[in-house]
Amino acid sequence: MRTNRKFFKRSKFLPIDKFFSNVLYDKKSGYYSSKIPFGREGDYITAPNISTLYSEIIAIWIISTWEIFGKPKSFNIVELGPGDGGLMRVILEVSKKFPEFNKSKKIYLYEKNKNLIKKQKNILNGNKIKWIQNFKRIKKGPIIFFGNEFFDAIPIKQFKKVKKNVSEKYYSLKKDFSVQEVFRNATPNDMKLVNSFKTLKKLKFIEFPKLGFKILKEIVSRVLSSNGCILLVDYGYENSRNQNTLQSVIKHKRNNLFDNLGKADITSQVNFSLLSEFFKKNNLKVKKTITQREFLKSMGIMERASIIAKKMKFSEQSNLYFRLRRLLNPKSMGTLFKVILAYKNDNSDKYYGFK
Ligand SMILES: C[S@@+](CC[C@H](N)C(=O)[O-])C[C@H]1O[C@@H](n2cnc3c(N)ncnc32)[C@H](O)[C@@H]1O
C-alpha cells in the first residue's frame, strides 16, 4: 500500500485523471516508463501485435486517402501513440510499393514516453521520421492523424450528476496509505463543459476524457487549418451508460484497480457517441462509427488474406486465419473495437471503409 503514496506526489487528494496520469506516465515509476507492455511477454496484445494484416489494411487506407486528397506532393501522416512501432514499420514497408506516395509522405510519431520512443527508434531505424510532442512542429499542408488504442490509454475524469449539479471523483490517501474515493463539487468550468454535451444529458454517472479532448482539440484545429482527417480505432461503446469502465490488466488478466499500481495497465472504454459529438461541435464532419470487423472487412482483409495464404504452407495458413479470426471475432475484438473517422470536407465525403 505504501506504493500508493508515491503516485499522490505529496498531494492528499487528486482528481482521478491526475492520479492515473501519475500511475501510467510518471517519468520514474509510471507504468509506461518501467516496461514495454505489448505482446505475449507483456500485459496486453493490440491489433498490430496480432497480425501484420491489420497494419497492412491501415496502410492501404492511408494511401487511398492520399489519393482521395488528390495525391498531394507533400502529405503529413501522424501516428498517435505508436507503442512499439510495429504498425508504422508495416506502413513504411507497404509505402515502398507506391513510389509516388512514398516520396510525398512526411511521417510524425506523437509519443510522450521516452522508453517507447527508444524502442520505436530502434525498430524504425533508417527511416525519415520526426518524433513530436507538439503538433505545431508539423509542416503545413494536408494531413492524416491516426491512432490504434491511443484514446483509451489517456486517463479520464469521472463525475456524478444530480439534476444539473455535478461533482467530481477524487482519490484521497488515508493514514494507512489506502486509497479512498471522495466526491467534491466540480469546478464551474467542468460543470459547464459536462452539461454542454447532449450525449451525457441523461446520465447520473459520467466518464469524461478531459485530457484526451484537450489533445484532440489541438489535432482538430490542425486539420481545420489545412485539410485532413482523423482515424481512431479503440475499445469502446456507443450507447452512453452509467458505467465505470476503468480497468486494470496485468499479464493478460484482469487485476484490481489498486493492486500493482505502476505495474499494471489501466484503461477506460471510449464513448464513441461522445467522441462523435465532440468532433461535430468542433466543426468536423464525422462518419457513422463502425466496428473493427466492418472496417477491416470492407477494406478487403479477407481478400488480402487469401492472396498471401496461397504462398504459405498449411501450418502458416492456419496461423494466419487464427489471427484473422481474433481481429474479426464478432463476440470480442471484432465488435468491442470501433473505428471513427472525423474529417474536413474539402475533397469528398467518400472515404474507403465507411458508408
Ligand atoms: C495502448 S498503447 C497503444 C500502442 C499502439 N498504438 C498499439 O496499438 O500497439 C498507447 C500508446 O499511446 C501513448 N500515449 C498515451 N498517452 C499519450 C499522450 N498524452 N501523448 C502521447 N502519447 C501518448 C503511449 O505511450 C502508447 O504508445
Q: Which of 25, 34, 110, 113 to mutate to test the pocket of ligand 1 (most atoms within 8 A of CB)?
A: 113
Reported as a single tens digit per residue, the pLDDT across 258-289 is 999 999 999 999 999 999 999 999 999 999 99
Residues 33/116, Cβ–Cβ less than 8 Å: no
CA dihedral sign of residues 298, 302, 306, 308: positive
Average pLDDT over residues 143-159: 97
Burial of 156 (0-12, 13-18, 19+ CB in 10 A): buried
Q: How many CB atoms lie within 10 A of CB 245?
A: 17
Q: Is the pLDDT of residue 96 over 90?
A: yes
Q: C-alpha dihedral over 31, 109, 353, 39, to 10 degrees?
A: -40
CA–centroid distance, residue 169 to ligand 1 (Å): 24
Ligand 1 atom closest to Cα of residue 82 = 6
Pocket around ligand 1 at a 6 A CB cut-off: 32, 38, 46, 48, 81-83, 110-113, 116, 148-150, 153-154, 215
Terminus-to-terminus CA distance in the chain, angstroms? 50
Helices first, then strands: H and E counts in the chain? 15, 17
Please state which architecture CATH assigns to domain 29-154+209-343.
3-Layer(aba) Sandwich (3.40)
Q: Is the pLDDT of residue 1 over 70?
A: no
Question: Whole-structure pTM over 0.85, yes or no?
Answer: yes
For 275, the grid coordinates are 467522441
Average pLDDT over residues 20-48: 88
Note the pLDDT of residue 2: 64
Q: Whose CA is nearest to atom 4 of ligand 1?
A: 83
CA–centroid distance, residue 171 to ligand 1 (Å): 24
CA–centroid distance, residue 148 to ligand 1 (Å): 8
Residues 139/60, Cβ–Cβ less than 8 Å: no
Q: Is the pLDDT of residue 225 over 80?
A: yes
Reported as a single tens digit per residue, the pLDDT across 10-31 is 888 999 999 999 999 988 889 9
Burial of 136 (0-12, 13-18, 19+ CB in 10 A): exposed
Q: Cα–Cα distance between 283 and 290 in angstroms, integer?
A: 21
